[in-house]
Amino acid sequence: MNQLDIKQLSTSDLRERIKEEKNNLAKLKLNHAVSPIENPMKITFSRKTVARLKTELRKRELAEEKK
């Protein structure tokens, strides 16, 4: 998910996507701990996606506070 897609999401959709991505990240970590996954870069990509989503959500919260 790239930055343009994230900016187009509504705030409620952002919160839902954060929950989904966190669950996905937890599953990836667990699966990797049990047996190495085929592509461990998926964990890094998922972690960065969560960070991007949280950053956009925080940016919107700060914009609301200024208004």
Per-residue pLDDT of the chain (67 residues; tens, 9 = 90+): 788 999 999 999 999 999 999 999 999 999 999 999 999 999 999 999 999 999 999 999 999 999 8
pLDDT recorded at residue 1: 79
Whole-number Cα distances in Å, 26 to 47, 56, 58: 10, 21, 22
Residue ranges and CATH numbers for the domains of the chain are 3-66 (1.10.287)
pLDDT recorded at residue 59: 96
Nearest to 46 by CA among 21, 14, 19: 21
Q: Whose structure tokens read 């960065």?
A: 48
Q: Locate 52 and state its tokens.
A: 């991007």
pLDDT recorded at residue 2: 86
